[in-house]
Amino acid sequence: MKKIPVGISGRHLHLTQAHLEILFGKDYQLTKMKDLSQPGQYAAEEKVDVYSPAGKLIAGVRILGPVRPASQVEISRSDAIRGKFVAPVRSSGDVKGSGPCKLVGPKGEVELSEGVIVADRHIHFSLEDAKDFGVKDGDKVSIFIDNAKGGILNNVLCRVSPKFALDCHLDTDDGAAFELNTGDTCTIVKSYTINE
């Protein structure tokens, strides 16, 4: 079976243009630091501080560009526990009813009534890759990691688009548990048996 590259996603956030301008100033534009695995997506030089409702700080959270229709903060479950954030497991963009926070930038502050999530495990597929792997948008699969702390991860969402490049996105908690780094690989598990 073809290997799928893995990308470990650290905490980060996406902003609307309006929120970016509140935090950094009128007509502000993000400064690209480096391209990400998905075409058109990039890590920006800019960072902001994120405060939980309990007043706990996560300092210097990097912004990813380009700007989006809704602002959201993606953290790990470990971040949520340490910082006392409400952060349900969600797909990127699905922020309705998610956790609140305060964003603090060099020029201003933004109170988000919702937008804090733990991103779900997911794999980006191009149309051609989806056909090769026999998956469709919205499918959930399991993946196998073959290393010293390897194993199987379930509930990995398949996201299919002609704009996507093949990449499995896991957060830092999953990466640490399975000793995975960006650039490692995994395989899709077609079936396995649980012995009871």
Give the model confidence (pLDDT) of 22-65 as tens digits: 999 999 999 999 999 999 999 999 999 999 999 999 999 999 99
**Cα 140 from Cα 120, distance rounded (Å):** 11
Residue 20 placed within a domain? yes
Question: Of 119, 135, 168, which closes a domain?
Answer: 119
Model pLDDT, residue 37: 94
Q: Where in the sequence is the domain holding 157, given as residue range(s)?
A: 121-189
Model pLDDT, residue 84: 97
Question: Of 85, 119, 153, which closes a domain?
Answer: 119
Q: Are residues 181 and 149 in the same domain?
A: yes
**In sequence order, what are the residues at sequence separation of 6 or more whose Cβ sits closer than 8 angstroms to the Cβ of residue 18?**
none
pLDDT at 97 over 90: yes
Q: Are residues 61 and 131 in the same domain?
A: no
Question: Of 119, 149, 173, which closes a domain?
Answer: 119
Across 151-164, average pLDDT = 96
**Cα 149 from Cα 1, distance rounded (Å):** 21
Question: For the chain, how many structural domains are there in total?
Answer: 2
Q: Are residues 168 and 109 in the same domain?
A: no
Q: Which of 122, 117, 110 is nearest to 154 (CA)?
A: 122
Residue 102: pLDDT band by 50, 70, 90 thresholds?
very high
Residue 195 placed within a domain? no
Across 104-125, average pLDDT = 98
Residue 196: pLDDT band by 50, 70, 90 thresholds?
confident
Buried b (16+ CB within 10 A) or exposed e, 76-98: beebbeebebebeebebeebeeb
pLDDT at 1 over 80: no
Q: What is the CATH number of the domain that holds 182?
A: 2.40.40.20
Q: Are residues 104 and 156 in the same domain?
A: no
Q: Are residues 130 and 180 in the same domain?
A: yes
Across 162-173, average pLDDT = 97
